[in-house]
Structure 1
Amino acid sequence: MRKYFFILLVFVIAFGFSTFAQNMIGNSDFTQSLYIPASIPSDGNIFTNNNWSFLVNATGGGTATSGNGYFEAVLSQTGSNSWAEQLLQSPITLDHGSIYKVSFMAKSSISRNVEVKIGGTAGVGWPAYNPGNGMAGGMTFQLGNEWKTYEFTFTMYKPTDEHARFEFELGLATGTVWIKKVSLEKVGQMESKSETQIATSTLTDVKGWNLIFDQDFSVATSIDKNVWNFDLGNGQNGWGNNELEYYTDHNAYIQNGNLIIEAKKETKSDKNGTYDYTSSRMLTMGKFSFEYGKVVIEAKLPQGQGIWPAFWMLGDNINQVGWPACGEIDIMEMLGNNSAKVYGTAHGPISGGVGIGQSYTLPSGTFSDSYHTFTFIWNKDAMGWYVDGHLYFFLTKSYVEANYGPQDWVYDHPFFLIINLAVGGNWPGNPNSSTVFPQKMYIKYIKVYQAQN
């Protein structure tokens, strides 16, 4: 942060403050009444008319007013998550590489936390652009019964977002919360750094490939428990994504030369609750991991609103360092409401786990019509994501270290494999009346290679 502050001083000396330091928040002094939206879209692209809206989600409860220079919320239910009650303003445009300062005053009738999240909508994965340890991914602040000013800065590392949301997450506690004098100002620009050029051929210019992991389901009769574990349950919180499914070890099976993971609409209960869907999540944690190589998966994917298939990897040090410090590599993710597009992403400390990625759209047809090959290649210098042999995303260590910092490249250690079919969640949204069940993901094989020395 000192480096960015120095850059800002140089900029101000040369050009003055006129470009920055303008409050981007409407009704920042709470002299107007709250705006009531005509509808609340499930994808999060809400319009609050350059004003604030108070939203109460299913598990929350409370009332709120705005006027006389402050916002007041009387919260009658704690809710099961931080966003059970929200004070929200959207859309707000955040520019890639810009540095923003947030300031507000607040107090509460009881000592409690409030989470502040400036983030994106479902279409970009509900990221928090001001990463913190809050339940929604934002920053938490402890309020007392006296007015206090809270301030922080953050850098917009992700691409420009013209539909960002400024949210006060008010759930998880009852009582009364007061907020006033909210500001969001652009105060500087991230230092521009160029990437050391590395040719994409660095991924494929090898002497040859040695096969080190071969799961060919055309010759298998059952799932090999020496290779695969199963995650069971709902993670008590939807695996951190508000997913709806209950994972079992019997929604995955071998049939007709495929590993099939099947999502069903059926009721399942445990001590934590009742769930309307079942599916499976398989992983090689503790049984197989590797550092650098090539992963190749041939599969046909499911489809439908709220359906979320994925092939991905986690660093095998996750139990020691946690997520996102362990690193996450999403080889393929697809949202079932658009089965012609898949996503490849690298997550890590980068902007609090939000990650860097790209998408690929088929020139014709969908990933549910026929089988396609998903390939991921990774070495000490770079990563590449491919669909049917086409490289669509190339990420280098030098780019990450130059633009984020050396600590953000967390991919120089072994990772294990995960395959799953989720139902619902923050990113895909939930199933609706158009979603047909059961949905099946068909996998012909999963192979891992390492380059010959």
Structure 2
Amino acid sequence: MISSMHRILSTMAIATLLSASHVRSQEAVADTDVRELKSMTLVWSDEFDGDSLDYSKWGIEVNAFGGGNEELQIYTDRRENVRVEGGSLVIEAHRDNANVNGTQREYSSGRLRTKNRGEWKYGRIEVRAKMPVGQGIWPAIWMLPTDDAYGSWASSGEIDIMEYRGQTPNEVIGTLHYGAPWPKNKYTGAPYQLAEGTFADDFHTFAVDWQEGKITWLVDGKAVQTQTQWESDGGEFPAPFDQRFHLLLNLSVGGHFVGNPDASTTFPQAFLIDYVRVYQ
């Protein structure tokens, strides 16, 4: 992902995620960590009910070189890769040797962001989505700072609402990235597993409830992780998570975090987003 050098380290991240003492997993998260939606106001949303993307809310990124994690896809703005259809945003990966500005790669896919169209400081950011499944398939719902007020990545932070490995379809991961500029960045978080079934069977809702000094992750309305400790070389706590961030949605193919597709991976692969809602 652009601005996400942490992807290079992702294969080592799970041990850090599981051992982080200041991350409270689903067994320990209290109901008081999450505000009730009835106490909040819907300030931004996209229900994807039409037949075309709302460009007042989304920009499609065109990027021939993946996201800095030795990913294999090329991001395009073609309808094959990004479209609104059947009440959902469809981000679809193909094995088609796509060409962008003279660069050809084996796989194509899509990546969108709300930068300069939707940015928020605090709130509940909620996305209802259905995952693809397959070795080397990597959808993500995440947030980056719009202003980089505390310096380059990861001093200004990153909020990963949901990351998913297509080969482990019953598990999602939520992570914070912060600290010093890469390679001295830090990251903490935890995985969450379904008791039965997979995230590819149906739509599920992924959210963060982001408050001053506290961020809680939710899956299908259930609080599964809370973080209350982080840092930034560029400022005092609660920096860097006290600035405006924008949302990104993408589907990657391959890279260190998931490994590359193999003979069992079929294409096309579709990441479906039913809605995005932001409450404050």
Change (3 A) 1:121 1:312: closer
CA distance in 2, matches of 1:378, 1:346: 12
- Quote the residue 1:241 is aligned against: 69
Tell me which amino acid in the other structure corresponds to 2:42.
Answer: L
- Quote the residue 2:213 is aligned against: 381
Tell me which amino acid in the other structure corresponds to 2:267.
Answer: F
Change (3 A) 1:400 1:199: farther
- Quote the residue 2:152 is aligned against: 322
Indicate conservation of the 8 Å contact 2:61/2:112, yes or no: yes
- Quote the residue 1:106 is aligned against: none
- Quote the residue 2:84 is aligned against: 254
SS in 1 for 2:67: helix
User: Are 2:272 and 1:435 aligned?
Assistant: no
Change (3 A) 1:290 1:364: same
- Quote the residue 1:269 is aligned against: 99
User: Are 2:222 and 1:400 aligned?
Assistant: no
Tell me which amino acid in the other structure corresponds to 1:240.
Answer: G
User: Are 2:38 and 1:210 aligned?
Assistant: no
Q: 1:294-309 to 2 correspondence within 5 Å?
A: 294-309=124-139
Change (3 A) 1:302 1:257: same
CA distance in 1, matches of 2:230, 2:201: 36
- Quote the residue 1:153 is aligned against: none
Indicate conservation of the 8 Å contact 1:203/1:379, yes or no: no
Identity over aligned pairs, percent: 36
Indicate conservation of the 8 Å contact 2:136/2:261, yes or no: yes
Change (3 A) 1:239 1:354: same
- Quote the residue 2:3 is aligned against: none
Q: TM-score with structure 2 length normalisation?
A: 0.84
Indicate conservation of the 8 Å contact 2:18/2:189, yes or no: no
Match of 1:124 among 13, 19, 22: 13
- Quote the residue 1:282 is aligned against: 112
Cα deviation for residue 231 of structure 1 reads 1.2
Greater relative contact order, per chain length (Cα 8 Å cut-off, separation 6+): 2
Tell me which amino acid in the other structure corresponds to 2:258.
Answer: P
Indicate conservation of the 8 Å contact 1:203/1:378, yes or no: no
Change (3 A) 1:319 1:249: farther
CA distance in 1, matches of 2:227, 2:149: 26
Larger radius of gyration: 1
Deviations along 1:249-273, one digit per CA (max 9) or x if unpaired, are: 1211111111111000011234674
- Quote the residue 1:338 is aligned against: 168
Q: TM-score with structure 1 length normalisation?
A: 0.53
How many aligned residue pairs are there? 261
Greater Cα shift, 417-426 or 263-272: 263-272
Unaligned segments of structure 1, at least 5 residues: 1-118, 128-156, 162-191
SS in 2 for 1:429: coil
Indicate conservation of the 8 Å contact 1:348/1:408, yes or no: no
Change (3 A) 1:409 1:243: same
User: Are 2:199 and 1:367 aligned?
Assistant: yes
Cα deviation for residue 335 of structure 1 reads 0.5
Deviations along 1:362-411, one digit per CA (max 9) or x if unpaired, are: 01110001111112100102000011112111011xx336xxx9467410
Tell me which amino acid in the other structure corresponds to 2:215.
Answer: M
Tell me which amino acid in the other structure corresponds to 1:424.
Answer: G
Unaligned segments of structure 2, at least 5 residues: 1-7
- Quote the residue 2:32 is aligned against: 201
User: Are 2:115 and 1:226 aligned?
Assistant: no
Cα deviation for residue 227 of structure 1 reads 0.9
Cα deviation for residue 200 of structure 1 reads 5.4
Cα deviation for residue 318 of structure 1 reads 3.2
CA distance in 2, matches of 1:294, 1:269: 38
CA distance in 2, matches of 1:448, 1:122: 31
Indicate conservation of the 8 Å contact 1:292/1:378, yes or no: yes
SS in 2 for 1:201: helix
CA distance in 1, matches of 2:36, 2:204: 24
Indicate conservation of the 8 Å contact 1:200/1:394, yes or no: no
